[in-house]
Structure 1
Amino acid sequence: MHFFKTGALLLLVSSALLFVPAGCNPSGGPDPVTPVTNTLVSSTLIGQFTTDQLRSRFTGSNVGFQLFIRYPISVYRVTYTTTNTDGKSITASGALMIPTVNSTTGIPMLSIQHGTITSDDGAPSNYQSGSEAYTFGSVFASQGYIIAAPDYIGYGASKDLPHTYEHRNGLATASLDMLRAARQVLTDKSVNWDKRLLIAGYSEGGYATLALQKKIEEETGSEFNLVASSCGAGAYDKPAFMKQILNNTTSTDPSISRLYLWVLLTYDRIYNLNRPASYYFKEPYATRIAASGYTANLGGLSFNQVVTDSFKQAINNGTDTDFIKAAQDNDIHDWKPRTNTRLYHGDADDTVLFLNSQNAYDAMRARGATNVQLIRLSGANHATGILGYITGTYDFFSSLQ
């Protein structure tokens, strides 16, 4: 599920870049202390692009994009060290985009966690034509934002490793270490970052963004001045969502069923369950999945029709404690955020069900979080909800001026 689908969406995204002027501190918090953590391995210039070059990317139905190009940008491929889910240090990567802005007060950084991609071509650090980083990220940068865009583990420099799909700590750790590497690049290049950090993402990016926020708030002290988090349509309540998928008819779109399959296989691998496909899946799907993984043909069935009755029963009665613990370890819906947070979600979303955001909001409010809002996008599904997410994020960040 890519973050942006059409030229119209991209145009809306570009308008969202006007929301926070450089130099203000909407958080009102203290200046962050200088941390000692530096994950940077290297930064390589991909290219420097003039405003004319950036405008030339947008023609036809996307010609309106040209109106939002303000500054030239420099794009870097950043490699850095991070920790994989097995505890081993690895090299990961991401894109860092820096606008050429003369600002005495400094400019903010926006960390963008991308949605689901199934090919390395879409990794931000590859900066290929048509990717989110090449289009959406570049327009954000041209509006005066430093853009940090992690590839995640499994793409870019770590493409030979399995992607940590919907894994809380894998996504959050790679995103956090990308921010640390980006900070060092900005220092080395004397870029005037005003230390404000905003984070955003939709779908897998929404889940990754909330996981990153939780990690920053709970583990990094005053290392970052996080002022706002905008999360769209993420699968935050993993245990409840899992039971819903296993016990109810969901979309029969093969591309959606394969996403659920991908999560299940990822957890089986990361938590060393290493079960045969036949434990989870009926035939002929078990054989197909054993051979092809999450790309297997599921025959256009709802996911609950593919899994075995015994697996469903073990989840429902609590006897499969290992898989239940894996789901619980990736649950990020029940905690108390300190940062101004908005959860956007379409109530007709048949890919990532609305209950994820509703449950997160209810749990956070019950813990006393008054700075969290749930924005219900009435009648929107996973694709059409992107519109409301982008325009809502625009209003949200604008209000922090």
Structure 2
Amino acid sequence: MSLMQPPSHGAGPRVEKRIWWSRMMIYRPACMKCFLTSCGTNRGSVVPFSGNGTAIVTGLAPISISLHKESRPKKLSVPGSQPACRYMRTLCLLLVVFFLGCDSSGMEPEPTPVRGDVIDVTTLATYTAEEVSQLVGAYGIPYSARYGISFYVLEYLTVDTHGEETTASGAVAVPQPVLRSLPMVSFQHGTVTRRSGAPSRGDTNEAVVGMFFAADGYLSVMPDLLGLGRSPGLHPYLIADVSASAIVDMMQAVVRWSATQPWSYSGEVYMAGYSAGGYTGMAAHRLLEAEYSSEFTIKASSLMAGPYDLSGTMLELMLREEPYPQPYYFPYVLFSYNEAYGLYSSPSDFLASPYDVTLPPLFDGMHGGGDINEAMPTIPIQIVHPDVRRSFLSDLNHPFRQRLRENDLTNWTPRAPTRLYHCAADELVPIENSIIAAQSLGEAATLLDPSPQSEHGDCAPLAIASTRAWFNSVSTSGQ
């Protein structure tokens, strides 16, 4: 016999369902007790359900069910066979789940996501040792890989320039076959404006450098940084603190993820980066030693051709009335600093026409440096409004100067051995950046010139190869 009685005149389907559910709860109150207590409902909790009434949990005693008068059935026929009882017990539980839910006050709360938490990991590709050797060799680095690699893309939580929670991405390369204990190399990429130029794309120069280290037996970590890869917004170009936090947060995410994988993280960290990556790598090194020394032990740091002296060497270079090979670097700094520090209300407040209109759309993450250079004069300072230029030149405490000074990396002392590789003929990032940094960083820092006649691009493979040899001589695990 059906448990559902014909609805009274005027009662619609919704009323019919509620009355039927109320009767079901009288028929099998024990199933409700089991469900509620299993959900963690506390004794004495009042739980509403879809009938006209409430259920009161009384611990191990029978549940007290209070129904409104109009919901109480006059008569209820119950099947008496054991199969029917089992059927009704199961049906009762399913209906409780569907209609009632449960009070979660006694359940363990979901952990609140924090910086460095992993959002997602996907496998992008795998390479044999021979394939890695070919990829690296194409960049002019003689190399024979010891291991194949698996290449992953990892998304994680971090914070933006305003301290708000956001997401970022990066690449992780892991040697194959899996080694028991892996030291970490955190490699920072150079200047990138197009989101797809970040390491997580997998086919960029920066990604190949990461493979280079992984195929030697390292857990290779390559942050995209904010505003690149899968991260929203404008990339905070050459802003030290937020770049460092994005790097460290990814390192934490990789360690947490590695705890669920066949390999383990050995505890050793090797920091590296070239050009803008030399700058962000130094910022991350500083942060790790200042605030994360209990989590990460930096064994060696190789920072190559970085613009560490922003308010001095690099600013003087940008102020010259001379052509510069990569003029887009200058507006990249202007836009990122304005976004982070609110120096001006709009581009028209500091850029001359037509650059106040033509340049901003090009920093949308879809255009490369070559695209932006085509819209630039060869002399970068010419994009700045003449009045702003005069004000800046006459005011040594101009807000932009102050922010550049805050982001200089020439005012700290590392504890871990640090090498500053830089070629004397560098036309984009003068070697004076590393000379000044080496003098101020103290005894732990050493300046090395792998090829005095090489310019910025040609210096990179030589400095990276030297870095690899040094790291391998220092590492005590995973090789």
Same fold? TM cut 0.5: yes
Are 1:392 and 2:469 an aligned pair? no
State whether residues 298 and 306 of structure 1, in contact with CA within 8 Å, keep that contact through their aligned partners in structure 2.
no
Match of 2:168 among 92, 105, 108: 92
Structure 2: how far apart are the matches of 1:67 and 1:289?
41
Residue in 2 aligned with 1:70?
A: 146
Match of 1:281 among 324, 328, 351: 351
Match of 1:144 among 194, 217, 223: 217
Residue in 2 aligned with 1:339?
A: 416
Structure 1: how far apart are the matches of 2:447 and 2:196?
33
Structure 1: how far apart are the matches of 2:139 and 2:327?
35
Q: What amino acid does structure 1 have at the position aligned with 2:278?
A: G
TM-aligned CA deviation for residue 278 of structure 1: 4.2
TM-aligned CA deviation for residue 145 of structure 1: 1.0
| Residues 68-217 of structure 1 aligned to structure 2 (within 5 Å) | 68-101=144-177, 103=179, 106-127=181-202, 129-133=203-207, 135-158=208-231, 160-217=232-289
TM-aligned CA deviation for residue 361 of structure 1: 1.4
Q: What amino acid does structure 2 have at the position aligned with 1:333?
A: T
Residue in 2 aligned with 1:8?
A: none
Pair 47,208 (structure 1): closer, same or farther in 2 beyond 3 Å: same
Are 1:226 and 2:301 an aligned pair? no
State whether residues 40 and 78 of structure 1, in contact with CA within 8 Å, keep that contact through their aligned partners in structure 2.
no
TM-aligned CA deviation for residue 381 of structure 1: 1.8
Write out per-residue CA displacement over residues 287-328 of structure 1, whole angstroms, 9 at most, x where no aligned residue: 433554583745542123333443333333336532122112
State whether residues 247 and 312 of structure 1, in contact with CA within 8 Å, keep that contact through their aligned partners in structure 2.
no
Q: What amino acid does structure 2 have at the position aligned with 1:76?
A: Y
Q: Percent identity?
A: 29
Whose RCO is larger (CA < 8 A, sep 6+)? 1
Pair 60,252 (structure 1): closer, same or farther in 2 beyond 3 Å: closer
TM-aligned CA deviation for residue 359 of structure 1: 1.4
Structure 2: how far apart are the matches of 1:287 and 1:45?
39
| Residues 311-330 of structure 1 aligned to structure 2 (within 5 Å) | 311-318=388-395, 321-330=398-407
Structure 2: how far apart are the matches of 1:65 and 1:237?
29
State whether residues 239 and 331 of structure 1, in contact with CA within 8 Å, keep that contact through their aligned partners in structure 2.
yes
Residue in 1 aligned with 2:435?
A: 358
Structure 2: how far apart are the matches of 1:217 and 1:157?
28
State whether residues 133 and 144 of structure 2, in contact with CA within 8 Å, keep that contact through their aligned partners in structure 1.
no
Pair 267,68 (structure 1): closer, same or farther in 2 beyond 3 Å: same
TM-aligned CA deviation for residue 57 of structure 1: 8.4
Structure 2: how far apart are the matches of 1:268 and 1:252?
22
Write out per-residue CA displacement over residues 97-127 of structure 1, whole angstroms, 9 at most, x where no aligned residue: 22235656x2211111111223222222232
Q: Which moved more, 1:316-325 or 1:55-64?
A: 55-64
TM-score by length of 2: 0.67
Structure 1: how far apart are the matches of 2:452 and 2:255?
39
**Which secondary structure does the structure 2 equivalent of 1:156 belong to?**
coil
State whether residues 68 and 143 of structure 1, in contact with CA within 8 Å, keep that contact through their aligned partners in structure 2.
no
**Which secondary structure does the structure 1 equivalent of 2:154 belong to?**
strand
Cα RMSD (Å): 3.0
Structure 2: how far apart are the matches of 1:315 and 1:246?
13
Pair 99,107 (structure 1): closer, same or farther in 2 beyond 3 Å: same
Q: Count matched residues.
A: 355
Residue in 1 aligned with 2:336?
A: 266
Write out per-residue CA displacement over residues 164-197 of structure 1, whole angstroms, 9 at most, x where no aligned residue: 1111122111100000000001111141322111
**Which secondary structure does the structure 2 equivalent of 1:82 belong to?**
strand
Pick the structure with greater CA Rg. 2
**Which secondary structure does the structure 1 equivalent of 2:404 belong to?**
helix
**Which secondary structure does the structure 1 equivalent of 2:342 belong to?**
coil
Structure 2: how far apart are the matches of 1:65 and 1:346?
17
Residue in 2 aligned with 1:12?
A: none
State whether residues 124 and 149 of structure 1, in contact with CA within 8 Å, keep that contact through their aligned partners in structure 2.
yes
State whether residues 39 and 81 of structure 1, in contact with CA within 8 Å, keep that contact through their aligned partners in structure 2.
yes
Write out per-residue CA displacement over residues 250-294 of structure 1, whole angstroms, 9 at most, x where no aligned residue: 4443xx111111111110111012344344333343443355458
Residue in 1 aligned with 2:98?
A: none
State whether residues 169 and 224 of structure 2, in contact with CA within 8 Å, keep that contact through their aligned partners in structure 1.
yes
State whether residues 250 and 302 of structure 1, in contact with CA within 8 Å, keep that contact through their aligned partners in structure 2.
yes
State whether residues 195 and 230 of structure 2, in contact with CA within 8 Å, keep that contact through their aligned partners in structure 1.
no
Pair 47,277 (structure 1): closer, same or farther in 2 beyond 3 Å: closer
Match of 1:372 among 445, 469, 472: 445
TM-aligned CA deviation for residue 74 of structure 1: 2.5
Q: Could you list the runs of 5+ residues in structure 2 that have no partner in the other structure?
A: 1-113, 364-368
Structure 2: how far apart are the matches of 1:56 and 1:323?
44
